[in-house]
Homo-oligomer: A and B are copies of this chain.
Amino acid sequence: MSLTTSSPLTSAQAASLASHALSILPVESRNAALTAIHTALQTAKPDILAANAKDMTLATRASQNGELSQSVLKRLDLSRPGKYEDMLKGILDVRALPDPIGKVDLRTKLDEGLELERVSCPIGVLLIIFEARPEVIANISALAIKSGNAAILKGGKESSHSFEAIATVISKALAGTDVPSEAIQLVKTRDVIDELLGLDRYIDLVIPRGGNELVRYVKDHTKIPVLGHADGLCSVYLHKDADQVKDIAVKVVVDSKCDYPAACNSAETLLVHEDVLKTVLPDVASALLRRGVSLRCDGQSKAALQETLSKSDAAILQAASEEDFTTEFLDLVMAVKTVPASLPSTTMNGTHSSSDPSASAIDPSLHLAISHINTHSSHHTDTIVTASSPAAEKFLSAIDSAGVYWNASTRFADGMRYGFGTEVGISTNKIHSRGPVGLEGLTIYKYKVRGRGQGAGDYGEGEGQRAFLHEKLDTAG
């Protein structure tokens, strides 16, 4: 690894060349590099936390002046209980994972002596731009090295002390390994993001790790594919039979909203079937209010809660605007919307139902909830609370999101929790990788063909031409 002050172009060219060498290193060499990084980061914990404390002091001041959000402040803090250990454990988890490179997942005998094979390989050069989470350097370096990719890392100013401290440690650790020094480039120079984003000839994938402004900026300013998500607008839907699973409803909503409100997988919208407005919603609302959540309710849900909650609780309910249902609060705020029990008559003959014959097959209200989520959510993670398996399965099939859950908190959308080791991020893209992205998302494949001099002109339906065998072969062999 090198902590570079050279130009983005020079860095990217060097990373591209190094990626070719890294791509053919055996897994033992890549794992040895991870061991070296882990040991070095463990030893250097006090120094790195001291550097992080400097960043925290500056950031706390900026936050007090209103120049930095609370959520960024939380993400920056490496001294939060378990955070440093999670970072270290993430490196070992990645090391323990099977080698993602060289896996053959398709083998076909095209003809005698003509075999096709599809083999996983690294993508090439990754550009990671991050704001406040300093542990991302360690995570991403581990994932990049394990998957045989070169990486260019560009940190934000909030984490500059932490970044430099971690980078220096990793840099020293890598020097004694087989991983080429230019394979992990740490760019310190400021104001070079636009230049980096223009280097589509050398950089194959950009992964922005930060707030939605950063992600949107990156998406708008590059032709390089971007892996990530600008928004995390997750929803919980309480179905009409949620009174049969009221404890689950309370548990799932409270955890989805309150476990870590600054996270992208926290819920922002609560959809409530009108049948359970007075049976389930009051308990859910009380639990949320006790945790300090501000509730922004539509008319019907607000009226139901005003009837059922204590006067003091009812008094702090807020009215929801349409905008609240497309807002990622990243804070202790939740928008509440009522799902009517039946389809409003106007939509029954509209384009919508005509283009979706299954619309009211199971339950018109379920369809309304699905439609609301498909048109308002950010396709990140959405959950239904219900006792009905058919309703749940319909929801899981029809919701167009990376994560679709039944009776579980949206907060499970995470690479560690899914068992992928550490993650590069969560993708709401519709291609390549969706949801928490681990090692697999950093690989692609190539097709190898081994022949004996065959030409494509030998095959066909003409006279004297051969037919392909297309015989599936065992991929283990």
Residues in B with CB closer than 8 Å to A455 are 251-252, 254-256, 259, 409, 411
A413 vs B116: C-alpha distance in the bound complex, in angstroms?
Answer: 10
- Would you call A476 an interface residue if the criterion is a C-beta within 8 Å of the partner chain's C-beta atoms? no
Which residues from 421 to 466 on chain A have a C-beta closer than 8 Å to any C-beta of chain B?
429-436, 444-462
- Would you call A78 an interface residue if the criterion is a C-beta within 8 Å of the partner chain's C-beta atoms? no
Q: Which 3 A-B pairs have the closest CB atoms?
A: A255-B455, A408-B451, A248-B453
Residues in B with CB closer than 8 Å to A24 are 358, 397-398
Q: Are B182 and A355 in contact (CB under 8 A)?
A: yes
Tell me whether A356 and B401 are in contact in the complex, defined as CB-CB below 8 angstroms, given that A219-B223, A449-B412 are known contacts: no
Give how many copies assemble into the complex. 2
Q: Are B357 and A449 in contact (CB under 8 A)?
A: no
- Nearest CB to that of A453 among chain B residues? B248
Binds B, one of A12-20, A59-67, A311-319, A321-329: A12-20
A448 vs B409: C-alpha distance in the bound complex, in angstroms?
Answer: 12
Closest beta carbon of chain B to A330's beta carbon, Å: 16
**Mostly helix, strand, loop or mixed at chain A's interface?**
mixed
Tell me whether A402 and B447 are in contact in the complex, defined as CB-CB below 8 angstroms, given that A204-B431, A431-B204 are known contacts: yes
Closest beta carbon of chain B to A159's beta carbon, Å: 24
Residues in B with CB closer than 8 Å to A308 are none
Tell me whether A456 and B412 are in contact in the complex, defined as CB-CB below 8 angstroms, given that A180-B356, A223-B220 are known contacts: yes
A248 vs B450: C-alpha distance in the bound complex, in angstroms?
Answer: 13
Q: Are B20 and A403 in contact (CB under 8 A)?
A: no
Tell me whether A259 and B409 are in contact in the complex, defined as CB-CB below 8 angstroms, given that A20-B400, A225-B429, A225-B431 are known contacts: no
Residues in B with CB closer than 8 Å to A477 are none
- Would you call A406 an interface residue if the criterion is a C-beta within 8 Å of the partner chain's C-beta atoms? yes
A398 vs B121: C-alpha distance in the bound complex, in angstroms?
Answer: 10
Name the contact of A82 in the complex, choosing from B21, B458, B460 (C-beta under 8 A).
Answer: B460
Q: Are A418 and B435 in contact (CB under 8 A)?
A: no
- Would you call A114 an interface residue if the criterion is a C-beta within 8 Å of the partner chain's C-beta atoms? yes
- In the assembled complex, 17 residue pairs joining A and B whose CB atoms fall closer than 8 Å, in A order, are A14-B355, A21-B357, A21-B359, A180-B356, A255-B454, A259-B456, A392-B450, A403-B447, A406-B451, A407-B450, A408-B451, A411-B457, A412-B456, A413-B447, A414-B456, A417-B459, A430-B444
Which residues from 15 to 70 on chain A have a C-beta closer than 8 Å to any C-beta of chain B?
17-18, 20-21, 23-24
Which residues from 203 to 257 on chain A have a C-beta closer than 8 Å to any C-beta of chain B?
204-205, 219-220, 223, 225, 227, 245, 247-249, 251-252, 254-256
Q: Are A432 and B434 in contact (CB under 8 A)?
A: no
Most central of A20, A24, A255 by chain B CB within 10 Å: A20
- Would you call A352 an interface residue if the criterion is a C-beta within 8 Å of the partner chain's C-beta atoms? yes
A398 vs B20: C-alpha distance in the bound complex, in angstroms?
Answer: 7
Tell me whether A408 and B114 are in contact in the complex, defined as CB-CB below 8 angstroms, given that A248-B453, A431-B432, A446-B435 are known contacts: yes
Residues in B with CB closer than 8 Å to A417 are 110, 456, 459, 468
A453 vs B18: C-alpha distance in the bound complex, in angstroms?
Answer: 47
Residues in B with CB closer than 8 Å to A23 are 397-398, 400
Closest beta carbon of chain B to A226's beta carbon, Å: 9
Closest beta carbon of chain B to A181's beta carbon, Å: 8
A178 vs B357: C-alpha distance in the bound complex, in angstroms?
Answer: 9
A444 vs B120: C-alpha distance in the bound complex, in angstroms?
Answer: 17
- Would you call A405 an interface residue if the criterion is a C-beta within 8 Å of the partner chain's C-beta atoms? yes
